[in-house]
């Protein structure tokens, strides 16, 4: 996929890079500072470095992580060295980035729970190179110059943050995941807070919301999604499992890892490899997940390994 870029009226430029597994965004603000928001996965390191080179990004003022998940923090340590810049992560998730081990999120939908059960077993994106000197990401405006602001948008994780550029575009990490017509993240530790995070994002006045997974979301779509979420009976319930409890859980033993998956749906799942072009969004090695017996053998969702 070719680069997608946006320009604000204040002269800041945002370029989407690394769009196979998880996108990150190169930002050059109107006063000439350069930032990278999130860092994708190590498998995309070389491709993204080549993109940054083409964009003329030879140095960075800072790397800002929206949250601690492995598909966002995966290259933070390597690029902190390469670009000679500090790494910032939401204060409550600094420990995970420093340790190079994140808390995988809970499923917020039945399919999300099923996919996450597989991901937990295989430890996909759970560990990454530790970032020893990661700093807490300050909320508010001014710390990163007059063009960037940071707002707390918890829900997908307990402490997720979004970066707002000139009050016009917001880099939201996984506060929104844009797949098909849905923008609700299928994985969320605090699904009941997702709507509040969306209200915060709309409150910034931004017109464009740029996700790590899926295409850009316009303000009208986010407003419609929030209204739908707030209809009586639609507001998601609190996550059943306290993330703080899982954070301190010991890593799965080798024996546990070999144990069969516990069923999380009434119907068994099967995963089949499909060509990348069959997935509804850019994904590396997509697997179609089928729930059986479903209507025919229709794919019910996609995941990637």
Largest CA distance in the chain: 57
Residue 93 touches Zn ion, criterion: CB under 5 A: no
- Give least dist CB 67 to Zn ion, A: 6
Q: How far is the CB of 58 from Zn ion (least distance, A)?
A: 29
Rounded Cα distance, 149 and 237, in Å = 30
Min dist CB 119 to Zn ion, Å, is 11
Q: Please, which residue, 71 or 290, has the CB nearer to Zn ion?
A: 71
Between residues 69 and 179, which has the closer beta carbon with respect to Zn ion? Answer: 69
- Of residues 233-262, those binding Zn ion (CB under 5 A): none
By CB under 5 A, residue 158 contacts Zn ion? no
Query: Contact between 174 and Zn ion (CB under 5 A)?
Result: yes
Asked if 17 contacts 4 with a C-beta cutoff of 8 angstroms, the reply is no
E strands of the chain, at which residues?
4-7, 13-17, 24-28, 34-37, 62-64, 87-90, 135-137, 140-142, 145-152, 161-165, 169-173, 208-211, 217-218, 269-273, 286-291, 301-304
Q: Which residue number, 114 or 175, has a Cβ lying nearer to Zn ion?
A: 175
Q: Looking at 53-61, 174-182, 252-260, 297-305, which segment touches Zn ion (CB under 5 A)?
A: 174-182
Distance set, CA 211 to CA 30, 40, 176, 183, 222 (Å): 22, 12, 6, 9, 12
The region of 41-49, 143-151, 172-180, 247-255 touching Zn ion under the rule CB under 5 A is: 172-180
Q: Pick out residues in 28-67 that bind Zn ion (CB under 5 A).
A: none
From residue 175, alpha-carbon distances to 152, 170, 171, 240, 276 in Å are: 10, 11, 9, 19, 24
Shortest Å, Cβ 87 to Zn ion: 17
DSSP 257: H
Q: How far is the CB of 105 from Zn ion (least distance, A)?
A: 6
Out of 69, 101, 178, 179, name the contact with Zn ion by CB under 5 A.
69
> Segment 211-230, which members bind Zn ion (CB under 5 A)?
none
Which three-class secondary structure state does DSSP give residue 175? Answer: coil
Q: Which residues here bind Zn ion, judged by CB under 5 A?
A: 69, 174
């Amino acid at each position: 996929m070719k680069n997608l870029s946006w320009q604000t009226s204040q002269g800041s430029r945002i370029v989407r890079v690394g769009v196979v597994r998880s996108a990150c965004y190169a930002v050059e603000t109107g006063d000439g500072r350069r930032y990278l928001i999130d860092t994708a996965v190590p498998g995309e390191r070389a491709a993204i470095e080549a993109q940054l080179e083409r964009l003329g990004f030879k140095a960075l003022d800072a790397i800002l992580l929206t949250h601690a998940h492995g598909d966002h923090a995966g290259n933070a340590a390597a690029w902190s060295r390469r670009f000679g810049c500090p790494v910032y992560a939401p204060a409550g998730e600094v420990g995970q980035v420093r340790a190079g081990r994140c808390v995988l999120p809970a499923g917020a939908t039945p399919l999300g729970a099923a996919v996450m059960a597989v991901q937990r077993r295989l430890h996909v994106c759970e560990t990454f190179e530790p970032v020893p000197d990661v700093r807490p990401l300050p909320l508010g405006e001014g710390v990163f110059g007059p063009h960037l602001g940071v707002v707390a948008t918890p829900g997908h994780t307990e402490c997720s943050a979004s970066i707002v550029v000139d009050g016009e575009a917001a880099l939201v990490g996984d506060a929104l995941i844009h797949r098909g017509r849905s923008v609700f993240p299928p994985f969320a530790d605090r699904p009941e807070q997702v709507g509040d995070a969306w209200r915060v994002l709309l409150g910034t006045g931004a017109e464009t919301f740029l996700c790590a997974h899926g295409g850009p979301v316009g303000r009208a779509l986010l407003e419609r999604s929030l209204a739908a979420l707030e209809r009586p009976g639609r507001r998601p319930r609190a996550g059943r499992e306290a993330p703080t409890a899982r954070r301190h859980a010991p890593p799965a033993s080798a024996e546990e890892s070999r144990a069969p998956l516990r069923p999380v749906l009434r119907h068994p799942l099967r995963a089949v490899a499909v060509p990348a072009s069959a997935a509804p969004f850019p994904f590396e090695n997509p697997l179609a997940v089928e729930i059986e017996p479903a209507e025919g053998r229709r794919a019910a969702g996609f995941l990637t390994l």
